[in-house]
Amino acid sequence: MIEVNVDGASAGNPGPSGAGIMIKNNGLVEKHSIPLGMMDNHEAEFTACRMALEFCLEKQADIVWLRSDSQAVVHAIEKEFVRNSQYKPLLEEILGLTKQMNLFFVKWVPSKENKAADELARKAIHLN
C-alpha cells in the first residue's frame, strides 16, 4: 500500500500556486514541490491530488491511501460530485485514476496532520 499526503496552496485567489505531495512506499519517502502557475486554492488542491495519483500509478500502485486537509476535495471524491463546474474536469480525471487501482481510500485529515505536504506546497509557490 502506498500512503500519500497532498496539499495545494495559492498565494492569492487566484495567484501563484503549488502542489505538495509526500509519498510513502515500502519505507521510502518521496517529496515533491510542484509549481502550478496561476490558480485558485481549490484548483491547486484538486491538481495536487491528480498529480499524486499519477505518481502512484507510475509506481504501479494497486492500493493507495490518500490523505488531504481539503474537505472540498475529499468530499468531492467520496460523493463523486462537485458543484462548481470549474472543478468537474479535474474531479473526473481523479476518479478515472482511482478506477485504475484495486483499492483506493481517501481521508480528510486536519491541517496539523498534513504539515509536510503543506510545507512542500508553499515551497512550490515560490518556485513559480
Q: How many angstroms separate the most distant Cα atoms in the chain?
A: 39
pLDDT tens for the chain, 128 residues long, are 999 999 999 999 899 999 999 999 999 999 999 999 999 999 999 999 999 999 999 999 999 999 999 999 999 999 999 999 999 999 999 999 999 999 999 999 999 999 999 999 999 999 99
Q: What pLDDT is recorded for position 45? A: 98
Burial 36-65 (b: 16+ CB within 10 A, else e): beebbbbbbbbbbbbbbbebbbeeebeebb
Domain boundaries, the chain: 2-125
Q: Which residues contact 24 (CB under 8 A, 6 or more apart)?
A: 2, 3, 4
Smallest Cα–Cα separation from 64: which of 127, 17, 1? 1
User: Helix, strand or coil for residue 37?
Assistant: strand
- CATH assignment of 2-125, among 3.30.530.20, 3.50.50.60, 3.30.420.10, 3.40.50.2300: 3.30.420.10
